[in-house]
Structure 1
Amino acid sequence: MATIKLTLDKRRKLGDGRSPLILRLTHKSNSTSIQTGIKLHFSEWDSKKLRVLKKHSIQKELNLQLKDIILRYEQKLRIAEIEKPYCNVVDLKKLITSNSFGESVEFNSFSSEQVEMLKKQGRFGNAQSYITATNSLIKYGGKNLELGEIDYNFILGFENHLSSNGIKINARAAYMRAIRALLNKGGKMGCYNMSNYPFNNFKIRTQKTASRAETIETIIDLRNIELEIGSEIHNARNIFFLIFGLIGISFMDLILLKKSNIKNGRIMYKRRKTGKLYSIKVMPLVSDILSLYTNETSDFLLPQFDLDGIDESQVRHKTNLGLKITNRYLKQLGMQLGLTSSLTTYVARYSWANIAKRKGFSKDLIAEALGHNYGNAVTGIYLEGYGNEIIDSANDKILSPLDLNSL
C-alpha cells in the first residue's frame, strides 16, 4: 500500500536558509518526492508532529493548506490503488499529480474491487449482494456509469426502473442497501463526492413479509408424512429438522459441521456470518438424524454434501446448490401439507422462535438463543451468568412433542 508523508528536505538549502517542504511518496519499497511549494527554516518545522510551528508568521494558514494537500493526495492514492494497482512509484506520482486524475471512477470497477476484498475476508454473502446490485445498476445506468453520476435523481430513476420491471419492494431495498454501502465506502476513500449522496433524502422502503413460521402442529404433520428412507426428499426433511433442533442454525453452518464440533454432548461452532460462538446441546432429535449419515470416511457430520478436500469457492457453490435442492423438496412437502406459503430452511428457524414465543418464553431468551444482538441487557447478563441451561431447557420443551422414531 502506497504512503505519503510530509518531510522537510534538509538536503536542499536555498540561499535564504530555507528548505523545501515535500511529500515523500513510498510505494513497493521505492520512493519519490512531490513538491508542496512551501519552504521553511528548520526551526519552523515540527518533524515529529509534522506541522508548522508558531514561529512562522502564517502558521495556521500553512497548516490548513498542508492538511488540504495531504487529504487531496490521499484520496487520489486510494483511487489509484483501485484503477492502477500494479503501477510503479514513478507512474503513481504521475497519476496523482495529474489535475484530471480522480475526478471520475467507474462504478463497476470500484464495486468489483470491493467484492474481491469481501471475498478475501470470507464475507461471500455480502459480496454476492454487491454483485447482484451492481449488475442491476449497470443494466440501468450503462457499463461506463461513474460513481459521481449517482445522485438523488439517479437513484429515484433506478427505483422506478426496478418497480416497473416487477422487482418487489424488499428486493429493491436490498439493492439500495448494497449501493448505499458502496457509496459510503467510496466517500471514505475519496472516490465519491458525498455532496451527491442520495440517501440523506431517499428513504429505503421495505414491506413487512408474511410470517414464515409454522406451528408445532404443522411441524408434527411434517414429521408424520411417510417418506422413503434415504431418498432426496427424506434427506431434505431431515435437514429441516436438524435446523429446527439446532435452534435455527444456518444451512451453511450446518453442512460444514464436523465430528470435532461435537464436544461433551454439545455442538460447538462459530457462525460464519457473524463469528459468534454457539454451544447447543445435542438433543435426541438431532442425535438420531445425524446417526443416519455420519460415517468413518468423512470428517463431516453430513458427508452427503461431499465437502472434503475442496476450496472455499467450491464450498460456496456446493452450499448454494445443496440449499436450492433442499428447498425444492421442502416446497413439495409444504404442498402436501396444504401450506399457503413455501416451506424452506428459513421456516425451520422462524418456527422455532414462533413456537418458543407461544410457549411463553421471553423475547430476550429467544433473541439470545437465535444469536440476535437485541434484547434486554439485564436478561442477557442473567443468561450468560447461568450458562446454557436455560436455552437447553427451552429447546427441550419445544422438541419434546416430536416422536423421533418416525424420522
Structure 2
Amino acid sequence: MLKTSVSVTLDKRRPKKNGFYPIIFRLNHYDKNTSISSKHDIDDKYWDFTNKKVKKGCPQFSSTSAFNNFLVSKLSDFSNEILRLESLGRLESMSIQDVKKAITRDKKDVQFYAYTTEWIEDLKNTGRKGYARTFDDLIRELKIFTENKDFSFRELNYEFLKKFDTFYLSRGTTSLNSLAVYMRSIRVICNRAIKDGIMDEQQYPFKNYQIRTTPTAKRAIDFKYLEKIIELDLEPSNPLFHVRNYFLLSFYLQGRPFIDLVYLEKKFIKNGRLKFFRTKTNQPLDIKLSPQVQEIVDYYKTHNPDSDYILPVLTKENEADKRDQYQHALGNYNKKLKKLAKLVGIQESLTSYVARHSFATIANNMGLSVSAISQMLAHTSIKTTQVYLDKLKASQLDHFTDRIIRGGK
C-alpha cells in the first residue's frame, strides 16, 4: 500500500493577522507530514470542510469554481508525481523534504543535465546500465560544448541543436553517424520531458532539425579469414593470444560485442549454457556453450580463478572505474586487432565489431531468417539487424530460386 499521499485542507493552526487561514496541501510520507502553500488565505466560514473546497460567494475570488478547479489540478499534479516516483522505486528511500521538493519543482525551469542525470540513476537502479551509459556519453559530449554549464529545456531549441551540430563536426575527429547517435539520445530525452510536462510540445526542436547519417560500410569478413584466425597457433605469451581469443569468443557467442564479453560473469554459466543480459539493451540471452567456447572459457577460468568475471579485464570495484577499464581495454583490443589482421592477410579494417557483423552476414548467407538473426544479435528491432547484413550472394539467390520453382523441395 502506498504510504505517501497529498490532500488539500484549510490549516486552522496558523491564523493570519487578519484572521484568515491558509489553504494548504498536506503531504504525508511514512508517518511524517508537511505542508505546501497554495498562496491563498480565506475566512474559515467560506471553507467546505466536507468536500474540501471553497464555498460560493468567497470574496477573495472572482470565480470560486475556477479556484476550486485550480486546487483539483494541483492535487492531481502532486499525486501523479508521487505515483511516478513510486513506479521508479525511489519513493521509499526519499525524505519527506525530498518528496516535497520533487513534486513542487517548477517544471519549466528544470535543467537538462540535472533531469537527465536523475533519469540515468533510475535506469541504473532498474538494471538498465547499458542504456544508461548511452546518456552518460551524451552528457559528456554536451558538457564539452556548453563548457560544463547546465541549461534549461527552454534553451534546447533548433538553434541549440544546429550550434551543437556545427561544434561537434568541426572537431575533425568525429563523424556524422556518431553525431546522429547523440542527437537521437537528445530526442529521446525531449520526448520524455514532454511526457513529464517539463517541455512544451511547441518547443520540440526536432520538428525542423533533421538527423543525418551516412551509409555504414559493411564490416564483415569472409569465413576463410575466420578460419585463418582459428588455425593460428599462438602461445599465451604472444601479445595477440588474448586478442585472438576475444575475437573468436565474440564470433562464437552469436556476435557478442566486446562490452558484453568483459562483463560476463562465471555465475552466468549454468548447465552447459551461458545465461545473461545484453549490456546495451538488457535483452536476455541463453546460449549453448559450444566446444569452441568451452575451451576458451575453461582457459580463463583456470588462469583467472579469483575474479567473478570470465575474462581478465575488469578488476575494479567501482562501476565508474570498471567503465574506464573497459574503455581502455577496448582501445588496446582494436589496436592489436590491426596486427592480427596483418598476420592473417586481412586487407579490411579489423575492429571489435567485425566479429559481430561477420556472424550476422554468414548466418544471412546460410539462409537464416532476419528475425532469427535479430534474436541472436539481441536487437530490439529488425531494422537494426538489416544494417548488419550484406546482400545474399548471387549463388544463394539462385539456390533459393530453384527451391521456390520446385515448390520448396
Same fold (TM over 0.5): yes
For 2:158 and 2:141, the matched residues in 1 are separated by 17
Instruction: Give the aligned partner of residue 138 of structure 2.
Output: 133
Give the 3 Å change call, closer, same or farther, for CA 338–369 of structure 1 in structure 2: same
Deviations 1:101-122 (A, max 9, x none): 6653443444444444444445
Superposed displacement of residue 323, structure 1: 2.5
- Consecutive unaligned residues of structure 2, counting only runs of 5 or more, are 85-93, 384-409
- Say whether the 8 Å CA contact 1:8–1:19 is kept in structure 2: no
- Say whether the 8 Å CA contact 2:338–2:351 is kept in structure 1: yes
Aligned length: 355
Instruction: Give the aligned partner of residue 392 of structure 1.
Output: none
- Consecutive unaligned residues of structure 1, counting only runs of 5 or more, are 46-50, 79-85, 377-407
Q: Secondary structure at the match of 1:31?
A: strand
Instruction: Give the aligned partner of residue 306 of structure 2.
Output: 298
Superposed displacement of residue 155, structure 1: 1.3
Instruction: Give the aligned partner of residue 278 of structure 2.
Output: 271
Residue from 128, 132, 151 that aligns with 1:146:
151
Give the 3 Å change call, closer, same or farther, for CA 225–53 of structure 1 in structure 2: farther
Instruction: Give the aligned partner of residue 291 of structure 2.
Output: 284
Residues 1:371 and 2:386 are matched in the alignment = no
Range with bigger deviation, 315-324 or 367-376: 367-376
Superposed displacement of residue 87, structure 1: 9.8
Superposed displacement of residue 362, structure 1: 1.6
- Say whether the 8 Å CA contact 2:10–2:47 is kept in structure 1: no
Give the 3 Å change call, closer, same or farther, for CA 267–112 of structure 1 in structure 2: closer
- Say whether the 8 Å CA contact 2:254–2:377 is kept in structure 1: yes
Superposed displacement of residue 195, structure 1: 2.6
Q: Secondary structure at the match of 2:7?
A: strand
Give the 3 Å change call, closer, same or farther, for CA 13–115 of structure 1 in structure 2: closer
Instruction: Give the aligned partner of residue 165 of structure 2.
Output: 159
Q: Secondary structure at the match of 1:274?
A: coil
- Say whether the 8 Å CA contact 1:75–1:189 is kept in structure 2: no
Give the 3 Å change call, closer, same or farther, for CA 158–4 of structure 1 in structure 2: farther
Residue from 155, 170, 179 that aligns with 1:172:
179
Amino acid at match of 1:159: D
Give the 3 Å change call, closer, same or farther, for CA 69–306 of structure 1 in structure 2: closer
Superposed displacement of residue 226, structure 1: 4.8
- Say whether the 8 Å CA contact 1:76–1:190 is kept in structure 2: no
Superposed displacement of residue 210, structure 1: 0.5
- Say whether the 8 Å CA contact 1:256–1:300 is kept in structure 2: no
Deviations 1:113-170 (A, max 9, x none): 4444444445444444334433433443454452221111221232233233333111
For 1:301 and 1:36, the matched residues in 2 are separated by 57
Superposed displacement of residue 34, structure 1: 1.5
Superposed displacement of residue 23, structure 1: 1.4
Instruction: Give the aligned partner of residue 388 of structure 1.
Output: none
Deviations 1:166-196 (A, max 9, x none): 3311111112122223333443444444432
- Percent identity over paired residues: 30
Residue from 105, 112, 117 that aligns with 1:107:
112
Give the 3 Å change call, closer, same or farther, for CA 306–13 of structure 1 in structure 2: closer
Superposed displacement of residue 64, structure 1: 3.5
Residues 1:245 and 2:244 are matched in the alignment = no
Give the 3 Å change call, closer, same or farther, for CA 134–260 of structure 1 in structure 2: closer
Instruction: Give the aligned partner of residue 6 of structure 1.
Output: 7
- Provide the aligned C-alpha RMSD in A: 4.3
For 1:34 and 1:9, the matched residues in 2 are separated by 10
Residue from 4, 26, 41 that aligns with 1:24:
26
Superposed displacement of residue 198, structure 1: 0.2
Deviations 1:59-94 (A, max 9, x none): 86455423444477789999xxxxxxx99859968x
Give the 3 Å change call, closer, same or farther, for CA 374–43 of structure 1 in structure 2: same
Q: Secondary structure at the match of 1:66?
A: helix
For 2:223 and 2:318, the matched residues in 1 are separated by 39
Superposed displacement of residue 364, structure 1: 2.0
Superposed displacement of residue 355, structure 1: 0.5
Q: Secondary structure at the match of 1:291?
A: helix
Taking the TM superposition and a 5 Å limit, the aligned residue runs for 1:1-400 are 5-9=6-10, 21-26=23-28, 29-35=32-38, 37=40, 39-45=46-52, 61-62=66-67, 64-70=69-75, 89=97, 104-147=109-152, 148-166=154-172, 167-295=174-302, 297-298=305-306, 300=308, 302=310, 304-305=312-313, 307=315, 310-374=317-381
- Say whether the 8 Å CA contact 1:253–1:272 is kept in structure 2: yes
